[in-house]
Amino acid sequence: MKAIYKYELSEEKVQWVSLPIGSTVLSVVEQYQKVVMYAIVDNETQGKIQIQIEFLMLGTGQFFDDVFESHSFLNTVKLSGGNVMVHVFAEKGWGLT
C-alpha cells in the first residue's frame, strides 16, 4: 500500500532528507511559511531502506555551480508574501522515481 507523506525542508541552502528507496517526489510548495515536499512512499518500505537525498534551495540571484547535471529542478517556492523566491533542486538518482 502506498501513501503520500509530507517532509518539511529547512531553510539551509544544502540539506539531506531521508526517504524510503523507490519514493516519488510529487511537489515542493509553501505551507505556513515553510517549504514542504510531498512524496509517494510505499508503506512496506517506510522505515526500512532509507536513502539520503541532497536538496538544494537557491534564492533568486544567488550564485551557484552548475547543478543541472547532478540535480533535478522541482519547483520555485514563494515565501514571505512573494518577497523571497526559493528554487528547489533534488539530487538525481538514488532510487527516486
Is residue 29's pLDDT more than 70? yes
User: Tell me, what's the pLDDT at 44?
Assistant: 80
Is residue 26's pLDDT more than 80? yes
Contact 14, 56 (CB under 8 A): yes
Q: How sure is the predictor about 14, in pLDDT bands with cuts at 50, 70 and 90? A: very high
Residue-wise pLDDT for 37-90, tens only, equals 999 998 887 667 788 899 999 999 888 887 878 899 999 999 988 899 999 999
Domain definitions of the chain by residue range = 2-91
Q: What count of Cα atoms within 13 Å lies in the side-chain half-sphere of residue 59?
A: 10
pTM for the model stands at: 0.84
